[in-house]
Amino acid sequence: MLENILSIILLVVIAYAVYLQKNLNDEKIRREWDLAYFYYQTHQQDFDALTKEYFFEDFPLLKKVFLNSKIEEIKDYLKKGNSDKLPFLPK
């Protein structure tokens, strides 16, 4: 009986740790997105010359989000700005 209770508690703790890790990754992506948005809003010349390769080099966490996107789509999302507007967050 005690072994079953301890097993259940251990599973709950592991599930909670996985949940926290996913949320932490999402928050890192949102912070990097906010940084990219702020940078390209304040550096219009860099925004005009933006390529997918430079974007992924400067913001590697966002590569997971925009891997299959075209540069025009990335620029559209940068114009909108809000991290809630990201196409998806990786799973």
Q: What is the pLDDT of residues 58-71, one digit of tens each?
A: 888 888 888 888 88
> Which pTM was predicted?
0.66
Residue 11 within any structural domain of the chain: no
| Structural domain containing residue 40 | 32-85
List alpha helices for 1-91, DSSP H.
2-42, 44-48, 52-58, 63-66, 71-80
- pLDDT of residue 91 exceeding 80, the answer is no
Which residue matches tokens 């932490």?
24
* Mean pLDDT calculated for residue range 17-39: 85
Q: What is the pLDDT of residues 37-59, one digit of tens each?
A: 888 888 888 888 888 888 899 88
Residue 1 within any structural domain of the chain: no
Residue 68 within any structural domain of the chain: yes
Residue 21 within any structural domain of the chain: no
pLDDT at 37: 86
- In the chain, the number of structural domains is 1
